[in-house]
Copies of this chain bind each other. A is one copy, B any other.
């Protein structure tokens, strides 16, 4: 008797034989796994590169690693490195093999970015980030036609558990990514969908729709393409994204039911959007960011040295009492070691000067997803209460 399993193996052998013919070296590759996540939350990463002369790990969010940690060559041309134990969460990484950026060939989990793709390893152990047996929302890839940019664009949208079969309307939280990210990042490395699932299941956050748009309006600028501008995205956001969401989803559209937050570049965009429509959002969050250009950047910087054009340009809105009165939360958080910490401090001071009451948390850590996941876990429960 030919069991289905056996027949599948025969097909697998056939497929593998075809694939193998594309390899210059016909021998079967060695058997190993990568990534290997150990019980103590350390992670072993491996790559088969028998002809390489140097293999390094590019994983800047992994604490204590620094940039360019070397892998060691072992048997059969398999290079490896053990890192951690790491804080529970998710980490992007690639291998640098003789100068070539290589996504882990054995790892199907990825996190997309604007210009490239990262391998992703999830380290379990955090009750609010893990995939738990709770009701799960869905994360959708949604295509919309941008009249601003005159092309189809993608965003990711989290709908809370029960959305697909219900009739209820929900508040909307717009969550913006950073320069090294894309609209996929908050739901992959940022764990936003699972974080919301867990916060909602624990009664800590209200069920809400989370919209994660694409903050880059141009592709590939890092490789010589055209410059991005904040203005282009702000227009796309206000003219196309918010109206599309309110047409498409069962949203509540009053100010008290709208929140916006962003990290790094997305934090600057958040402030630009909030000032352009000063009575649209009741909750504003800025993670590891502030008004770009307000001070010279770098950990030592922090002193404003002269007049700041942005403040001049938006004086009317900054001093508009209605902007402040309906604003339930203006929340900043940045790590002590973040290269933008001076920018955050000066931005907070600017808002205070104009009569706002921002909350500012200075945390441990630097400009990494370790902080941004934690900030989301702290910020989301404060919304729509």
Contact = CB atoms under 8 A, between A and B. Distances in A.
Interface of A: 1-12, 14-16, 18-19, 21-25, 29, 31-33, 47-54, 56, 58, 60, 67-68, 96-103, 105-108, 110, 112-117, 119, 131-133, 136, 138-145, 152, 157, 159, 163-165, 167, 179-180, 182, 187, 193-194, 197, 219-224, 227-231, 247-250, 264-265, 268, 272, 292-293, 297, 308-310, 339
B248 A164 contact: yes
Given A219-B108, A223-B31, A24 B99 contact: yes
Contacts of A53: 51
A219 to B, nearest CB: 7
Contact of A309 (B1, B50, B103, B231): B1
Contacts of A197: 143
A7 B308 CA distance: 13
B8 A228 contact: yes
B250 A293 contact: no
A194 B29 CA distance: 37
A229 B4 contact: yes
Contact of A179 (B12, B29, B114, B159): B12
B24 A96 contact: yes
A122 to B, nearest CB: 12
Given A8-B230, A103-B103, A108-B219, 17 more contacts: A2-B292, A4-B310, A5-B229, A10-B292, A10-B293, A21-B68, A22-B58, A23-B96, A24-B98, A33-B220, A33-B223, A49-B99, A52-B98, A107-B117, A108-B112, A117-B119, A164-B250
Nearest to A249: B164
B113 A108 contact: yes
12 contacts: A11-B179, A12-B221, A15-B180, A22-B56, A23-B96, A49-B98, A100-B105, A102-B103, A108-B219, A131-B143, A136-B143, A136-B152
A133 B152 CA distance: 7
Contacts of A142: 136, 138
A239 to B, nearest CB: 16
Contacts of A2: 292-293, 308-310
Contacts of A140: 138-141, 159
Given A164-B248, A230-B5, A24 B56 contact: yes
A248 B165 contact: yes
A221 to B, nearest CB: 7
Contacts of A136: 142-144, 152
Contact of A4 (B116, B138, B230): B230
A141 B138 contact: yes
A163 B167 CA distance: 12
A51 B98 CA distance: 7
